[in-house]
Amino acid sequence: AQSVTQLGSHVSVSEGALVLLRCNYSSSVPPYLFWYVQYPNQGLQLLLKYTTGATLVKGINGFEAEFKKSETSFHLTKPSAHMSDAAEYFCAVSSSSGTYKYIFGTGTRLKVLA
């Protein structure tokens, strides 16, 4: 079975500071990993994904994440936070078999302080 753990349901950073949102996964098969962002009253938008190949993946809006198999982690980072980054962020895991369903973490609400 696959699962995702997001440490920290709420994270606050100052504008211009580093953003680090943590995600650890559990999977018995090679995972596919995703970060989605949800703005208030909106659906989920894909930020970035890791399937195979390069372990450092870059996404939209300056976000990136690194797949570390030894640590079973896929943390999301951004060097400099903007006010517009305030949102809920979800990490998700899928696999190359079965129905490709995504299992989501509980989410991390990012607050950016002026």
Instruction: Give the footprint of another protein on this chain (CB under 8 A).
Output: 32, 34, 36, 42-46, 49, 51, 90, 94-96, 98-107
For 74, the token pair is: 């896929």
Cβ at position 94, least distance to another protein in Å:
7
How many other CB atoms sit within 10 Å of the CB of residue 65? 26
Cβ at position 85, least distance to another protein in Å:
19
22 vs 49 by CB, closer to another protein: 49
10 vs 15 by CB, closer to another protein: 10
9 vs 14 by CB, closer to another protein: 9
Cβ at position 80, least distance to another protein in Å:
25
Question: What is the Rg, in whole angstroms, of the alpha carbon atoms belonging to the chain?
Answer: 14
Burial of 77 (0-12, 13-18, 19+ CB in 10 A): middle
78 vs 105 by CB, closer to another protein: 105
Judge contact between 6 and 21, C-beta under 8 A: yes
Helix count and strand count (H, E) for the chain: 0, 11
